[in-house]
Structure formats: C-alpha cells, structure tokens
Amino acid sequence: MKDIGLLKEEFLAYLDAHSFEEKPKNLYAPVNYILQLGGKRIRPVLALAAAELFGKESKDALAVAFAVELFHNFSLVHDDIMDKAALRRGKPAVHTKWDINTGILSGDMILIEAYDQLSSYPADTCKDLFQLFSKTAKEVCIGQQMDIDFETAQEVEIYDYIEMITLKTSVLLACSLQMGAIVAGASKADQDHIYNFGKNLGIAFQVQDDVLDTFGKEASVGKRIGGDIIQNKKTYLYLKALELCEADQKEKLLQLYQNNNPSSEEEKIQTVQEIFKGCYVKTYADELKANYRDLAISHLRAIDLPEDRKTPLLSLVAFLESRTV
C-alpha cells in the first residue's frame, strides 16, 4: 500500500500530463487555471487509496480520481459565482480573473470532461461508475440549493444543516472512495462500508471547514475569514449559538443575520465571533466533528481486510483532523 503522500504525487503527475490545450483559449484557459490553483487533492487521493485498499493498483483508478477532482473544481467555479467570492485558494476566482459568463461556461466544460474520464473503463464498470457519479452530482446540486435557501429561511434546524452538508460536501468524498472500490471489484458490502466511511468523514471535514471559516487565519485558509457570516450562512456554529446563548445575544444574532447591508462587514464578523465564543460553540463543533470521525472509522474497521491495508486512510483521517487550512 502506498502512503497518502505518494498517492498525491502520482495524481499530480497525472494532472500535469492531462492539461487541456484545446481551443478556444478563453474556454480552456480557466479550466487549467482552476486545476492548477492547488488544494489538498483529498478526493482523488481517496479514490486511489480505495482502489489500493481492495487490491488494485492505484494507476488503474487515475481516471476516476481525475473525474472527481474535475467535478469538485466545477462546483468551486460555480459556487464562487453564486457566493460572489472574489478569491479561491488565495488567488482570483475564475469569474474574477475572467468574467461571469466565462466562469459559467468553463465550469460546464469541466463537468463534461469529468464524465469523459469515466468512459475509459469497461462497459460494466463504466455503468456502475456513471450511476454513482450521476447520483452524487444530483445530490451535490440539491445540497447547494439547500445552502442557498438556508440564507433566507427563518427556521433551520441542526439536522437540516447536517443533511445539507452531507449532500453538498460529504457525498462526493464518499463517491470518490466507492468509485475506487468499484474499479477494484470490491463487494457490494465493502463498497457500502467505504462509502459510509467517506460520508461520515466528509461531515466531520465540513464542520471543521465551518470552524476555520469563522476562526481561521486568512493567510492559511486562502479566503476571507467570516465569509459565512457575511453571507448569513446557517452553519452549525450559528445554529448551536441560537440554542445556547442568552436571550439578548440571541436577538442580536438574529438581527445581524437578517441585515444584508451592514454598515461595517468587519464589525458584523467581530460581533458574531464574540457571541460564538461566549457560548463556546467551537467546543460543541469539535465534539460533533469527533463523533462523525469515530463513526467513519467504525465503517473502515468493519471491512474484512488486514488493518495495515487501512493505514493510509487512517493517516488521512488524522491529517484532516489536525489541519488548519
């Protein structure tokens, strides 16, 4: 079994060898740009690790790894447009560097290229990959719409938030792992376990992202801190604060999230941060993250394979848990 670092290097070499040189340039240049902006490459590495876990060489899963990375970047390009986010990974977002129309069209092309990668597999494998990939793509779109709806919704519960991040974020991690397992010919039971490992890890991963968005450092995170607050996103931190804080603080928080034109965005961010700190929501978020992490690991343990085969995935869990970006 290759470790996570080697799998990432293998994928990056594949990525470098598969840049898009087609014309028109203004369509494909943004595709290459977003793919070369960096990132943790967690999803493609998961696909490669799952293939190796179930006895296939990682090189046989490079096409599905590329497909999930393409899909992820397609979603980032469109998310940045919808969120009016100027930066992505510390650099101008695609729609900022070019324009909105270019961002929409190049994002569409990235999605099409993702499906094209899957067509390289044998018919039976390709059918299973397409079904899972299409199901996941629909779920991600549903999750994104839920996230948008939550910005103006009057009532959002924590279980609504968990459903939203499951669909918007964690199902793609789960899909990455299951597609690697499909390529390796894993049993349906093992595919279910590796999928649920990824789904629960993805929830933990997103909770941590929400914490970093509010309490991280811009230089490390690569985007403006407090973006979720400015966009009135009903994250776990916000929803838990409504449960825990005193009546006057709750009223202030509700007013801040109903005001779409604050006199000072920085003041809004600072005030919300102080309310969050006052009711210790970060501690609760850390506990929630740990619960989903443990559930993820239980599914990995349930796969009837030697424990040393699972070491790369367990090391990735540890990395995600300790990250600050």
What are the structural domains of the chain? 4-322 (1.10.600.10)
SS3 of residue 88 by DSSP: strand
**Mean pLDDT of the region 23-41:** 93
The pLDDT of residue 325 is: 52
Confidence (pLDDT) at 83: 83
In 3D space, the residue among 33, 41, 34, 37 whose CA is nearest the CA of residue 14 turns out to be 41
Q: How far apart are CA 64 and CA 70, in angstroms?
A: 10
Q: CB–CB of 275/252 below 8 Å?
A: yes
**Paired tokens of 280:** 């210790």
Residue 259 binned pLDDT confidence (cut-offs 50, 70, 90) = confident
In the predicted structure, residue 39 carries a pLDDT above the cut 60 = yes
Residues facing residue 87 across a β-bridge: 92
Mean pLDDT over 21-45 rounds to: 93
For 54, residues 6+ apart whose C-beta sits below 8 A from its C-beta are 180, 181, 184, 185, 186, 190, 305
CA–CA separation, 164 and 160 (whole Å): 6
> What separation in angstroms does the CA of 325 have from each of 57, 89, 135, 155, 282?
30, 10, 29, 30, 16
Assess whether pLDDT exceeds 60 at residue 219.
no
**Cα distances (angstroms) measured from residue 72 to each of 149, 175, 176, 209:** 21, 11, 11, 16
Band of pLDDT at residue 274, cut at 50, 70 and 90: very high
Instruction: Say if residue 160's pLDDT is above 90.
Output: yes
Does the pLDDT at position 55 exceed 70? yes
Q: Is the pLDDT of residue 69 over 70?
A: yes
Instruction: Supply the pTM of this predicted model.
Output: 0.91
pLDDT of residue 140: 97
Question: What residues form DSSP beta bridges with 88?
Answer: 91
Indicate the pLDDT class of residue 217, thresholds 50, 70 and 90: low
Judge whether residue 85 has pLDDT over 90.
Answer: no
- Residue 324 — very low, low, confident or very high, per pLDDT cuts 50/70/90? low
* Distance between CA atoms of residues 250 and 236, nearest Å: 15
Residue 255: count other Cβ atoms within 10 Å of its Cβ.
9
